[in-house]
Amino acid sequence: MKFIYYLLLLLFISQTCLGQEINLDTRMSEARHEAEIGNYDKALSLIQPLLVGFPENEEMKIFAGRVYSWKKEYKKSIDILTPLTDRTNPNPDALLAIINTYFWSEQFDKCILYCDQYLVIEPNSTDVIITKAKCLEKLGRDKEALAIVDKVSVTDNSTQAITGLRTLIGRKAKNAMAFSYLNVSTSNPGQSPLHYGYVEYSHKFTKSALVGRANLGYANNDTQMLFEADYYQTFSKRNYLYVNGGVSTGQTIFPVAKAGAEYFFAPRKRFDYSLGFKYMHFETDDVTLLTGQLGYRAGSYTLAYRPFYDTSNELFSHVLSVQTSNEEKESLIRLEFQYGNVPYLYLYNNFVTPLKAYRVGIQYQNRFGGSFFVRPVFLYEYEEYLPDEYRNRFSAQLIITKRF
C-alpha cells in the first residue's frame, strides 16, 4: 500500500510541476507577444505574478529589465538587471540587456564598462564591439572608436553599422581641400576647347562654414582668374543661409565681380525649398538671376526643380534633377534635365541671347576610405548658338576632395 501511496503522490507532484511549467511558458509567450507589439504595460502585468512566484528565474528578470528599457524607464531596468551583472559570475544575457539600457539612456561611460565585462566572456562579439565604439564616438574619443572597428571581422550584418560609424566620425572633420578640372568642347561646328579648374579650401565652425576658392580659366588664348568665397550659416530649426562673393582678373571668361545669396528653409515632412539670387557684374553689363528650389524626398531618392530667371534678358531656364544617395557611404548618383541658358558653375557671361538650349547631365560621387571623394560630372547640351543653328556641347569635370 505504501508503494502505491508514494507512487500516486509522486505522480501528483509531477503533474503539478508540469502544469506550472506549462502555465509559465504560456504566460511568458503571451508577455513576449505583447512586448513585440508595443504593449509594454500588458507584458509587465503578465509576468509580474511570475516574478513573485519564481523569484530565482533569471530569464524572467532579464525580460522584465528589457521591457522597462523599451519603455524608457531606465532606472527600473538597471535596478532589475544589476544584481545579475554585478556578481562573480555575471549572466551574459543580463549583460547584453544592461548594455542596451545604458546606451539608450546615453550613459556611455557605464555602457563601456559593461561592454568590457561582456567582451571578457565573448571577445569576438561584433555587436558589443560596435556598441562600445559608438559610445566612444559619443564621448568624442573618435580615434579609439576607429581603432576598435578596424579590428572587427566584417560580416553582412556588421558592414552597415561600421560604415555608418566611420561616416559619422568622418563628418566631424573641420577641414577639406578640393581640386577640380573642367573641359568644355563643341562639335558641328567645333571650336577650341575651354579649360577651367579650381583649388578650394573649406573650414567648418560650430554653426557655420567658410570656403575659399581660386578659379583658373583658359579660353580664346586668354587666361583669367576668379577668386571667390562661400559662407554658410546655420540657424535654429535647420534653416541655413548661403552667401557667395568673388572678383576676377578679367572681363570675358569670368565676371568682373559676382555676389549671391540663397536661404534654405527647414524641410517640411518630405519637402524642402529655398529662395535666392545671383548677381554678376561685367565690364559692359550686369546680370541678375533669381533662383530657388523645391525638392521632394522619398527614401533615398530626391526629386528637385530649380528655375533661373535672368532679369536683364527676361529669360527663364529650368533644371529638373533626380538623385539617389547613400548617407552611410556618402555616395550619390544625380541625373539632370535642363532647358534654357542654364548657368553651370561660373560659366555664365553677358553675351546671353534668347536662344534655346537642351541639356542632360549625370554625376556620381564615391568615397574611398574615410576621407577621399571622387566626383565625375558629364553634361551633354544641344545648344542653339545662332538662330535656328544648333551644335553639340560637351562638359566633362572631375572633382577630387580630401577631408581632414
pLDDT grade for 328, boundaries at 50, 70 and 90: confident
pTM of the model: 0.75
Would you say residue 171 has pLDDT above 70? yes
pLDDT grade for 9, boundaries at 50, 70 and 90: very low
pLDDT grade for 345, boundaries at 50, 70 and 90: low
pLDDT grade for 283, boundaries at 50, 70 and 90: confident
Question: What is the pLDDT, as a whole number, of residue 250?
Answer: 86
Would you say residue 10 has pLDDT above 50? no
Kindly state the percentage of the chain with pLDDT values over 90.
68
Kindly state the percentage of the chain with pLDDT values over 70.
90
Average pLDDT, the chain: 89
Question: What is the pLDDT, as a whole number, of residue 59?
Answer: 92
Read off the pLDDT of each residue in 321-334 and give the average, rounded to a whole number.
Answer: 94
pLDDT digit string, tens, across residues 132-167: 999 999 999 999 999 998 878 665 456 778 888 888
Would you say residue 6 has pLDDT above 60? no
Question: What is the pLDDT, as a whole number, of residue 162?
Answer: 84
List Cα–Cα distances, 312 to 133, 288, 290, 299, 315, in angstroms: 56, 7, 11, 39, 8
pLDDT digit string, tens, across residues 371-396: 999 999 999 999 988 888 999 999 99
pLDDT digit string, tens, across residues 363-373: 999 999 889 99
List Cα–Cα distances, 293 to 304, 321, 323, 335, in angstroms: 7, 11, 14, 16
Query: 329 — alpha (psi -120 to 50), left (phi > 0) or beta?
Result: alpha
| Other residues' Cβ atoms within 10 Å of the Cβ of residue 37 | 9
pLDDT digit string, tens, across residues 107-119: 999 999 999 999 9
pLDDT grade for 4, boundaries at 50, 70 and 90: low
Collect contacts of 54-57 with beta carbons under 8 A, ≥24 apart: 54/24, 57/24
Q: Are 278 and 258 in contact (CB under 8 A)?
A: yes
Would you say residue 13 has pLDDT above 90? no
For the ranges 95-109, 149-163, 291-305, 311-325, which has the lowest average pLDDT? Answer: 149-163
pLDDT digit string, tens, across residues 178-224: 999 999 999 999 889 999 999 999 999 999 999 999 999 998 889 99
Would you say residue 38 has pLDDT above 60? yes
